[in-house]
Each structure stands twice: as C-alpha cells, then as structure tokens.
C-alpha cells in the first residue's frame, strides 16, 4: 500500500510539474513581415523547452511606445524589437530588464552592434540586424565605384558639364555628413570616467568638424548638387534623379535597394569611399535588437529564447528570409553574405560605422545640427559660427531637458 501511495504521489508530482512547464508561454513582438525569419527557431524552441510561443507583428519603431501602455496592463510582450536609439530613454523609464549575457556570447556579435545595446556596462538587448549608409551606383553610368570622395567630386564636375550628376548625398543633414565629420575629428558626446557618454561635452564644433563641413560645402558651392536636395524633400529629389538615370551614384541605405530595383536600375553597391585624410568614410550604425520587457513574468526564459533564436543556424535562415544583415561575425564571413555584393557592402560598412548614442539627450542634437549644416553648406553662415551656435543650442536644450527630469 505504501509503495502504491508513493508511486501515486510521484506520478502526481510529475504531472503537476509537467503541467506547470507546459503552461509556460512567451509573447513575442516581431517587426512587420519579419516573423517568417524566426519560424524554425520558434518551432525548435517550443519542442525543446515545452513552451508555447505566441508571435505578433508590429512596426519595430513603435513597439516601445506600445509597451508603455501594454506592459503595466499585463498584456504586453516578454520579448520585443527596438532600434538602438530608443534604448537610452527606455532604460531610464525602467521599461527593459537587464540581461545576463556572458563575454563569450557577446563576442559572437560585432563590437559596435553589441555596444549599441549596452548602457553603463549593462547589456539590455541582443543585436538582431544592422543597417547603415552605403554607396549605390548605376553600373551603366559608372562601371565601377571610385575609391575616394575627392574622385567623386572630380567625377561630379565632369558629369555637370554633360548636364548630369555624379554623386548625390544629403550632406546638409548630420545623418549623411557624419561619415565625413567623425573620421576628421568630430564627436557628438565625449566620454565620462566610467566610459559612458558625457552629454555636457558636445564635440560638433571641433577644428576637425569645421574642416569637414568646409570641405563638404564645396559640393554645393561648385554646383555639384541640385538646390532641391536641401530640406525635407531632399531624399525624394535624390531618388528621382537616380531612378531617372540622371545621377551616377548616391549615398543611401539598404532601404533603397528594392525601389531602385523596381525602377529597373542596373545598380551596384559598395562601402563608402575614402576621405582626403586617407580614412574610410564612417556612418551611423542603425541596430535593431531583441530586448526583454520589465513586465515579463519569466525574464530568464525570455532571455533564454533570445539566445536560442540567435544561434548561427537560425540567424542564417533569418537572413535568407528577411535579407536583413545580422551583426554576427560568423555570418558576415559566410559566403552567403561575403559573395553577395549588396550584403557584403553593408556588412563591411557596418564594421566601420558607429552606433548613434543611445541616450535620451541625442534627441536634442538632430535639429540644431541639421540647421547648422544647412546654413554652412548653403553659404548663409560660416561653418565655424554655425557649428558653435549649434553646440550652444544643443547644450542649452540638454540642460533644460535634464532639469525637467529631476
């Protein structure tokens, strides 16, 4: 009888344990039209861990905003996708759980991508995909990419004589001009003693920054770029000229590949060219990453899910299905990316790029910096004066923002 009772109790315990395990579930918010890339990984995770995984798609840039409401209400996700420039404010507001990712796992990703989801030496996300600016050229007008930006300037002069354009770029905006400014000595924020950002130290008006903007101004003063390129509609002007075969090359991102292909352009892609100082152009690195909600009922399981789906075999399948470049070193050296001209150009440039500071104060930089660049390249104000004023304005706005948060 004792034996029978013991067996019954043991079976009951096992059934309860199995029931509790099977009852576990995770809710994942994935980017629009990207969930197909993680289907196999999810199926294997469910089978291996006996966890039900529910996936919902929504635009990745809007997920953190939705989490603010859905998280406290108990209807939010365990795992979501955010861009790295939203990380700083999300951490400050307590929306994300810190992750325990050891050094070995971190080393599988490119350092710049991993840094994009690290705040004060604490990891808050695992990088999913990177995008950055590249050089896109029309092979019918320019058979091979040129090596330097100076060569593109000379080529653009010849093209203008033929009433065509050589290289087009939105050099009146910091997102596009940063690739020249940073390698020539500009920085957005300095670093503090702990290696974090010192937002009181804004470096957009260094001697190197002034030199870079003065050099970029020549593209405008020499008539190598159309007047309509400036302002909010500038990107539309660039796309129109390129798809109408009136421009040989543009600086743009992977988001332009599909529209250019649909327009029937025989285009190639290359990393950005060299600068007058011999350094390659840099660029801002945009990183999407998987993060865990503070309101997740099982943060450890949510992190286990992120690590599981980012194993190389699943990342490779995700790339094949979504065409998003994963910042996984092993994949970047895989022939599937290395032998693909477009993907390899993005991968090479991503390694040269730097993630934009993921702190809330970054939002105060864009407006004044863009205004200073437009004033500079249009000749309405000397670059040094315009950049000095921008730094003053940014510093004042940051001071006001920090005061209001106290």
The angle at the Cα of 26, spanning 62 to 95, to the nearest 5 degrees, equals 45
User: Can you list the positions of beta strands (E) in 85-239?
Assistant: 118-119, 122-123, 125-131, 134-138, 165-168, 187-191, 197-203
Q: Are 63 and 69 in contact (CB under 8 A)?
A: no
Residues 328 and 373 grouped into a single domain: no
Residue 8 lies in a domain: no
Residues 59 and 141 grouped into a single domain: no
Distances (CA, A) of 22 to 9, 14, 360: 20, 12, 40
State whether residue 382 is helix, strand or coil.
Answer: coil
Angstrom distance (rounded) from CA 3 to CA 242? 82
By residue count, the chain amounts to 406
**pLDDT of the chain, 406 residues: tens digit per residue:** 444 444 444 344 434 444 344 448 999 999 998 999 999 999 999 999 999 999 999 999 899 999 999 999 999 999 999 999 899 889 989 999 999 999 999 999 998 899 899 988 899 999 999 999 999 999 999 999 999 999 999 999 999 999 999 999 999 999 999 999 999 999 999 988 877 889 999 999 999 999 999 999 999 999 999 988 988 888 999 999 999 999 999 999 998 998 999 999 999 999 999 999 999 999 999 999 999 999 999 999 999 999 999 999 999 999 999 989 999 998 888 999 999 999 999 999 998 998 888 888 988 999 999 999 999 999 999 999 999 999 999 999 999 988 887 7
Residues 203 and 270 grouped into a single domain: yes
Q: Where are the alpha helices (DSSP H) in 162-225?
A: 174-181, 207-221
What is the domain range of residue 64? 25-130+286-355
Domain stop point among 316, 333, 355: 355
Residue 13 lies in a domain: no
Residues 264 and 161 grouped into a single domain: yes
The CATH number of residue 55's host domain is: 3.40.190.10
Residues 233 and 144 grouped into a single domain: yes
Residue 168 lies in a domain: yes
Nearest one of 207, 206, 230 to 217, comparing CA atoms:
230
| pLDDT in the model for residue 167 | 98
Residues 99 and 126 grouped into a single domain: yes
Q: Are 359 and 88 in contact (CB under 8 A)?
A: yes
Angstrom distance (rounded) from CA 277 to CA 26? 51
Residues 277 and 137 grouped into a single domain: yes
Domain stop point among 339, 355, 371: 355
Residue 137 lies in a domain: yes
Domain stop point among 329, 355, 381: 355
Residue 320 lies in a domain: yes
Residues 126 and 273 grouped into a single domain: no
Residues 238 and 215 grouped into a single domain: yes
Residue 363 lies in a domain: yes
Based on the number of CB atoms within 10 Å of its own CB, is 98 exposed (0-12), middle (13-18) or buried (19 or more)? middle
Residues 258 and 109 grouped into a single domain: no
Residues 161 and 230 grouped into a single domain: yes
Name the DSSP letter for residue 83. E
Based on the number of CB atoms within 10 Å of its own CB, is 240 exposed (0-12), middle (13-18) or buried (19 or more)? middle
Residue 10 lies in a domain: no
- Give pTM, 2 decimals: 0.83
Domain count, the chain: 2
Residues 35 and 99 grouped into a single domain: yes
Residue 228 lies in a domain: yes
């Amino acid at each position: 009888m004792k034996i029978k009772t013991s067996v019954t109790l043991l079976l009951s315990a096992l059934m309860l344990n199995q029931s509790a395990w099977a009852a576990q579930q995770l809710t994942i918010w994935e980017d629009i039209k990207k969930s197909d890339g993680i289907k196999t990984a999810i199926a294997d995770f469910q089978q291996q861990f006996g966890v039900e995984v529910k996936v919902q798609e929504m635009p990745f840039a809007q997920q953190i905003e939705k989490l603010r409401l859905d998280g406290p209400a108990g209807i939010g996700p365990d795992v979501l996708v955010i861009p790295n420039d939203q990380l700083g404010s999300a951490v400050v507001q307590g929306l994300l759980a810190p992750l325990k990712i050891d050094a070995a796992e971190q080393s599988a990703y490119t350092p710049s991508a991993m840094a994009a989801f690290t705040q004060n030496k604490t990891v808050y996300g695992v990088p999913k995909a990177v995008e950055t600016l590249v050089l896109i050229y029309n092979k019918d007008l320019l058979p091979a990419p040129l090596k330097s930006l100076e060569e593109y300037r000379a080529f653009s002069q010849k093209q203008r004589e033929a009433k065509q354009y050589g290289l087009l770029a939105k050099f009146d905006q910091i997102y596009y001009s940063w690739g020249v400014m940073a390698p020539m000595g500009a920085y957005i924020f300095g670093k503090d003693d702990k290696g974090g950002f010192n937002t009181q130290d804004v470096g957009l008006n260094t001697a190197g920054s002034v030199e870079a903007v003065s050099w970029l101004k020549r593209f405008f003063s020499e008539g190598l770029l159309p007047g309509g390129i400036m302002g909010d509609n500038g990107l539309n002007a660039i796309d129109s000229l390129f798809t109408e075969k009136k421009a040989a090359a543009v600086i743009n991102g992977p988001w332009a590949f599909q529209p250019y292909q649909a327009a029937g352009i025989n285009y190639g892609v290359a990393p950005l060219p060299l600068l007058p100082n011999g350094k390659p152009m840099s660029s801002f690195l945009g990183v999407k990453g998987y993060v865990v909600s503070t309101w997740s009922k099982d943060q450890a399981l949510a992190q286990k899910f992120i690590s599981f789906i980012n194993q190389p075999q699943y990342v490779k399948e995700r790339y094949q299905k979504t065409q998003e470049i994963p910042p996984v070193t092993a994949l970047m050296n895989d022939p599937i990316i290395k032998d693909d001209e477009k993907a390899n150009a993005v991968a090479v440039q991503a390694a040269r790029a730097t993630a934009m500071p993921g702190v809330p104060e970054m939002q105060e930089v864009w407006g004044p910096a863009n205004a200073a660049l437009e004033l500079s390249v249009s000749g309405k104000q000397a670059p040094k004066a315009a950049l000095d004023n921008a730094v003053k304005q940014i510093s004042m706005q940051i001071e006001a923002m920090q005061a209001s948060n106290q």
